[in-house]
Chains A and B, each alone.
Chain A
Amino acid sequence: MKNILVSIFMLSCILAIGQTITLSGYITDNTNGESLIGTTIYSKESEKGVTSNTYGFYSLSLPAGKHSIIFSYIGYQSIDTVINLGKDITLNIALHEVDQAIEEVEISANSNSKAIMRTETGMEKLSMKSIETLPTMFGEKDVLKVVQLLPGVQPANDGGAGFNVRGGNYDQNLILLDEAVVYNPGHLFNAVSVFNDDAINNVDIYKGTMPAEYGGRTSSVVDIKMKEGNNQKFSGSGTLGLLTSKLTLEGPIIKNKASYLISARRSTIDLLTKPFLNMHGGSMQNNNYYFYDITAKLNYKFSDKDRLYFSHYIGKDDVSLTTGNNRFTIAMPWGNSTSTLRWNHLLSDKLFMNVSLIQNSFFRDLRTDQEGFVEEKKSQITDYSAKTDFSWYTSINHNIKTGVQVTNHSFDIEKNSITDTRRSIESSAFLSDEFEIGKDLKFNIGIRYSQFNFVGAYDEYSYNEDNEPVEIIKSYDDYETVKQYQGFEPRFNVRYMLNDKSSLKFNFSRNTQYMHLISNSGATMPLDFWISSSKIVKPQYSNQLSLGYSRVLKNDMLLFTAELYAKSMENLIEFSNDYVATYVNDSELNYVFGSGTSHGVEFMLKKTKGKLQGWAAYTFCNSDRTFDDLNNGEAFAANTDVKNTLNLVSSYSLNEHWSLGANFIFKSGKPYTVPTSRYYIDGELVDDYTTRNNIRLPSYNRLDISATYTPTPKYKRFKSQWAFGIFNVYNRMNPSMVYFENQGSTSENNFRTITKSVSIAPIMPSISYKFTF
């Protein structure tokens, strides 16, 4: 294998020999200076291209001579320019946005011809503009909701921000905000994501193979990049909505050199419902729910070679409820924060370096007060990371990326003033090479190595046969390694162009995950909690093989993709069959470990040009789990096993004022666990559960519509937009969960249990007003 790789490398070097000149620079938006991530820079003569990176940087090595270079980014006017390359050139390009009123903006930033040329399957790019006209719950523009409309992605619960990718679990998605991990991506019990679309520049989603620079989760990556802030002029935007309202301000600190962006969002729903809560005799007036988040970014260009970025996110949800004449109070705040400090440095016009220092945390507290008897539980995850990445755009047709990262994880649980801390060090290194052999064959080959050290202070206990701790057998000091795990994660992607309209792709990847979310329920609810791998809990692994076919149709109007995949997952965690939440025992002893498999096929037909845009996606997925200690050791359908899904997503631009949107979703029923029988114990009935996920809920379907109205601006700088929407138009009562209600009485021999379904997302009209200046 090694020899083959070496020969491929040699061969591609030989093919590329000759004098090469490097063209490099940054691509930005001309009005606000935002980086344009993923701009294509392409030479017609040599049929060679490259895309700009996260910071808008590109570097392309070409043979000396005249080149016709195209700079293109969806929604922007392409630049086609002839450059005579004699020596290395730095060329910074500012692209002009296409006027929305004249031409329709494409719904996805994927250019069709670009999509077929990529090596990865299952990769999508979303621009914020693309989601503007789509209907959403409460009228909230939400990137994570749009992600759920892609084939192979399922919402973890109805209307929620959490999602499952290709039969994987909810915790297997790596969600990054400017490189910082976001542990809990949802506000309001996951009804809306924590990402404020006004502050987001770009979203990349990898649901198949993730490039080697990503790791730590086994299913997917959602990589969200914040806007940098307008470095040309002061500007802003605001939205008044039913669920939330928000305001964004941005502008230059030093024109062309330094800029800032700050965006704040707060829930409106609590302010709107407060008067109603007060009405009912005031008994509800002490109940409160609100959330907010603030996203901010600063950047500074020291020189053409050095840039510094600082991004920050902080968000919090606060719930408090009081019952029984103020005798019982419960408060449950939770929230995330992330901070990222980054330094970009160009070592040469071919070698790009980035150094990041990242802090991210997630906390959840629970405080109950029963007539002065206070119980408090606080939990917090804090990560500190340092990482360095290099991108080397070699002149020999190889784009090489390498990097290292070290993260210190700290899990603190404080119960009634006693703190228990668990620490671990996660480190990784990766190397990847993207290269072409001839015109048709393109490879992206990478390897990632990760290591995880579960470290002290930690007391190791011995256990008796009933799994109870007996005595301490070893005490570990601070940062002394208790248990070490490691993973080699190859990532292999190859693309073959069948002709200039279609391509075949093949991917293999292996992923390791050291952090796990333990769920005590089928839904993604606040009862879920994160744990790190430990002496008892082993890392999760996944292997995925996928095969893709893509083709552009109708003169680049349509893109058709078909993807086939098979995935295996190891060391998945569930609670044991007889788990009882007591907090008495070390809860790790209540876990059971098992494996899972998924396979499926995804078809998507996407139209990204014209008045009508959108996609139709069909997904077949089969996912099961096998645990020795669950379901008598037999395989059972995973919670994520939704066999058939059809998503129709569309937007239609009627005229310069109105655009319309509609989504239709059909899904076959989710598996669910119900008791198999009941029996009398001490004269009373108890339920017996023998098999897991032993029934299917009814199938799911829903239609959402929206209309966006853009009035003619009265003032040149002030623009406004009204968005109207109806979520679940025909008010379909889609069951999210099932519960049982007892009716009748035993003395009359008609005691029986009725199955009831709970729908948490009925018909919901929405309206919001947005202004920009």
Chain B
Amino acid sequence: MYKQIIFIVLTCIILFASCEKDIDIDMPQFEPSVVVEGYIVNGMNPIIVLSNNIEFTAESGIETYEESFIHNALVTITTNGTSTDTLVEIENTSPESGLTTYVYSSSKIRGEVGSQYELKIIAQGKSYKSKATIPEPVPIKEIWYEDNTESDDEDLKLVWVKIQDPVGINYYRYGSEINGKHGTQPEISTISDNAFDGGEYSKSIDSGLGNEESDMHGSVSGYFVVGDTITVKWLNVEKSYYDFWTSVDYKRSQSMNPMMSPTRIVGNIDGALGYWSGIGASVKSIVLE
């Protein structure tokens, strides 16, 4: 709704009389910070990505991305206040893109529902702390697809899932994989159960704006293409993770809008940007025929 209002306002201003030009502004002082992107999923090893933020106006690209990773940090996780493990830095080069990324992980830790994981990081001379607990996964009861209603293209399908929401507050994030590949996140990827607490809930899963395959099918977006295997991930997440991604989605949808308030992306790590959260994940696949 907000995007639509902005659309009108901008259209009116432009219709009217507006001019734009490049300007030089003395940007505020850049303050370097550590960025933590950390999560632990039930049944999986923890994943922690450590990086540095970059200057807002600096030129960037693959190189800056690769250079942003923080190496040789001391990362430990204490499980349920008892055993402490040190994570190791793992280098990973994508065979397709050639992009090299680094994560900290440990094969000794495997996420368990209800367990508490305390993260400690010592990086670049400072230490950071946060805690995460894995929520109970909420299973996908059913997955199905329907014809799209927007275009005549019969190859485009809308994928639905149904869940039974447990009583009490839950936060969800969802996404999809196409033929086992990490897909693009939907424009809006989070929802809380405010409107359907304790009830059955069906949701169509957007294929994401950057989905190349469906982009080739004309102007409509958000659909999946016949022939593909779609895996929907339904994540029951902690509030920290929900808040973080809700604000990221919002910021991205508003990125070009000069009139929006400066919403800050909220994390849960003191002194650093980013988050450390537990995720209860359930997945279900379907082949589109």
Q: Which residues of A contact B (CB under 8 A)?
A: 188-189, 191, 273, 287, 289, 319, 321, 324, 330, 332, 366, 368, 371, 375, 377, 464, 466, 468, 520-523, 525-527, 575, 577-585, 673-683, 685-692, 694-698, 733, 735, 737-741, 744-762, 764
Contacts and interface: CB of A to CB of B under 8 A. Distances in A.
Given A578-B243, A579-B261, A735-B23, A676 B5 contact: no
Query: B interface, by DSSP: helix, strand, loop or mixed?
Result: mixed
B54 interface: yes
A733 B56 contact: no
Given A191-B16, A680-B65, A687 B57 contact: no
Given A584-B195, A679-B54, A681-B248, A521 B260 contact: yes
11 contacts: A289-B15, A468-B169, A527-B2, A584-B192, A679-B33, A679-B54, A679-B274, A683-B101, A686-B251, A688-B33, A741-B256
Nearest to B64: A749
Interface string B265-283: 1100000011000000000
A521 B261 contact: yes
Given A686-B252, A760-B17, A755 B65 contact: no
A760 B18 contact: yes
A286 to B, nearest CB: 13
A328 B17 CA distance: 24
A755 B11 contact: no
Given A681-B35, A750-B61, A756-B20, A579 B248 contact: no
Contacts of A751: 59-61
A746 B55 CA distance: 15
Contact of B250 (A464, A580, A679, A688): A580
Interface in B205-249: 219, 239, 243, 246-248
Interface in B25-54: 25-33, 35, 37, 51-54
Contacts of B101: 683
Given A188-B12, A674-B56, 8 more contacts: A189-B12, A321-B11, A582-B246, A679-B52, A680-B35, A695-B25, A696-B26, A748-B61
A144 B266 CA distance: 41
B150 interface: yes
Contacts of B195: 584
A758 B20 contact: yes
A689 B248 CA distance: 12
Given A755-B22, A764-B17, A319 B27 contact: no
Contacts of B239: 466
Interface residues of B, number: 79
B91 interface: no
Given A584-B195, A681-B37, A332 B1 contact: no
A371 B150 contact: yes
B248 to A, nearest CB: 6
B62 A749 contact: yes
Contacts of B57: 752-753, 755
A472 B82 CA distance: 41
A520 B35 CA distance: 28
Interface of B: 1-2, 4-9, 11-13, 15-33, 35, 37, 51-65, 68, 101, 149-150, 169, 185, 192, 194-195, 219, 239, 243, 246-248, 250-252, 255-266, 273-274
A330 B4 contact: yes
A676 B2 contact: no
Residue of B1, B20, B62, B169 most packed against chain A (CB within 10 A): B20
Given A321-B11, A675-B56, A750-B61, A760 B35 contact: no
Contacts of B37: 681-682
Contacts of B55: 677-678
Contacts of A273: 15
A749 B17 CA distance: 35
B1 A366 contact: yes
Given A527-B5, A577-B263, A695-B28, A750 B20 contact: no
Which of B53, B56, B169, B192 neighbours the largest number of chain A CB atoms within 10 Å of its CB? B56
Contacts of A740: 255-256
Contact of B265 (A321, A578, A583, A739): A578
8 nearest A-B residue pairs (beta carbon): A749-B61, A739-B258, A679-B53, A521-B259, A694-B28, A689-B262, A677-B53, A746-B61
Contact of A676 (B30, B61, B219): B30
A298 B248 CA distance: 57
A757 B20 contact: yes
Contact of B31 (A332, A678, A690): A690
Contacts of B32: 677
B23 A698 contact: yes
Given A319-B8, A578-B265, A679-B51, A760 B247 contact: no
Contacts of A741: 256
B257 A580 contact: no
Nearest to B188: A582
